Amino acid sequence: MRILPPPRTVLLHGVLAVGLLALLLAAPLPRARADEKPAPKPDPAEEAYEDALERAEGIEGGLMKSVNKVRINSVAVLNLRRRKPAPNAEPILMRASGGSGVIIKYRSKLWILTNVHVTAGHHELQVVTHDGVVRDVEQHDSIPEYDIALLRFKDKLKRVKFRGVPVVASKSLKGLKAGTWVIATGSPFFLGEDGRSVTTLGVISGMDRFLGGQYQYVGAIQHDAEVNPGNSGGPLWDLKGNFIGINGKIAMSQQLRGVRPTNTGAAFSLPVHQVEAYLKRLVGDGDAEAGYLGVQTETETDKKGKAVGAKITKIERGSPLGGRGAGPDAPKVGDVITSLIVRGSGKTVYTASDLREHLSLLAAGQDVTIKFKRSRRTKRFKVRLADRGR
């Protein structure tokens, strides 16, 4: 049995312990030896460099992850034509040209999007997928005016790794603006014909661009990811791997006319929302046709210089507004179009570009109500968009 000390002894021991602790805390710290140097202060420049390097490595890792995600749905497109290797020989299929494409998924089926100018003049078409397999495809439908072509696989696909990407404009176009990073994949100069697409990186340098000609690019995305011959028809992605456009044109300076086009730092992509607008008709059994109104316009401004609509400068003969059935109530040269009403939804028109972009998303056969001004009076006219014919 342990015998406890008397209470006074316990108290004395406690007092001594507290006193000793106080002496230790009050005692001065030992001085550093004369030959000891203080620890060096961290270099701000070195810390900034290490922080920047860590951030860069994080961005690089994310970029590599995105590239690996999107490349699997990028394909090389081969345009084959029958040609005679010798004057008296039998024609054989030979590669005449080529381009790129992207595998998309629509209603549980895989399709391929590319440009019309990539498939033009073909006798047969093939694609090389990410696994290096050459697959026979055929053109299912197209929108020639806007350089959009849809291909389908001839054979059933079994045990493939690619799943196709969704065409969803509301998600893909959210937040896109000048300075946004983008990725282009494809087969420039036929370098992707082994199935391994070439990847380039850039930023968006402009939105809602218009390029005329045989193939009109309306509301196009301008960017500086390197695009060269062979990239046409290939996809443009954001850093999250969302499909945002189809690469198709590059800018050419006057000095380069007649020379094979190469990258100039300004490439143009068909926006995904335009593809989405026609996709349902493209995959259908009938021919997809772009809507045709047949007017030429210029931007109208008020006294303060503010854009207030698209003034009609010409109406093409035989167009929905220029035909015999249009009547006196139809818009005429000099009238100013201020909005389009489609399925009950109004699309405001401030400029000639606005009208062009709204019409570029509408198919033939679509009923549109045109709201316009004539001599300060607002009028409405309902018209059905026609097709240009093929």
* pLDDT digit string, tens, across residues 326-361: 788 899 999 999 999 999 999 999 999 999 999 999
| 15 pLDDT above the threshold of 50 | no
The better pLDDT of the pair 307, 1 is held by: 307
Q: Are 335 and 372 in contact (CB under 8 A)?
A: yes
b/e burial code for range 202-223 (CB count within 10 A of at least 16 → b): bebbebebeeeeebbbbbbbbb
Taking the model in full, what pTM does it have? 0.84
| Pairwise CA distance, residues 126 & 153, whole Å | 9
CATH class as words, domain 295-384: mainly beta
pLDDT at 86: 86
| 48 pLDDT above the threshold of 80 | yes
- In percent, how much of the chain has pLDDT > 70? 87
| Pairwise CA distance, residues 262 & 371, whole Å | 44
| 380 pLDDT above the threshold of 60 | yes
Mean pLDDT over 86-94 rounds to: 89
pLDDT at 34: 58
Mean pLDDT over 161-166 rounds to: 92
pLDDT at 32: 54
Mean pLDDT over 103-125 rounds to: 97
Structure tokens at 316: 């093409």
| 233 pLDDT above the threshold of 70 | yes
| 91 pLDDT above the threshold of 70 | yes
Q: How far is CA 240 from the centre of its chain?
A: 12
* pLDDT digit string, tens, across residues 190-229: 999 999 999 999 999 999 999 999 999 999 999 999 999 9
pLDDT at 166: 94
**Of 86-100, 158-172, 214-228, 249-263, the least confident:** 249-263
Helices assigned H by DSSP within 173-314? 272-283
* pLDDT digit string, tens, across residues 314-334: 999 989 998 777 788 899 999
| Pairwise CA distance, residues 301 & 187, whole Å | 45
For CATH 2.40.10.120, the residue range(s) in the chain are: 61-288
For CATH 2.30.42.10, the residue range(s) in the chain are: 295-384
pLDDT at 209: 95
Mean pLDDT over 11-39 rounds to: 50
* pLDDT digit string, tens, across residues 174-187: 789 999 999 999 99
CATH architecture of the domain formed by 61-288: Beta Barrel (2.40)
| Pairwise CA distance, residues 91 & 83, whole Å | 5
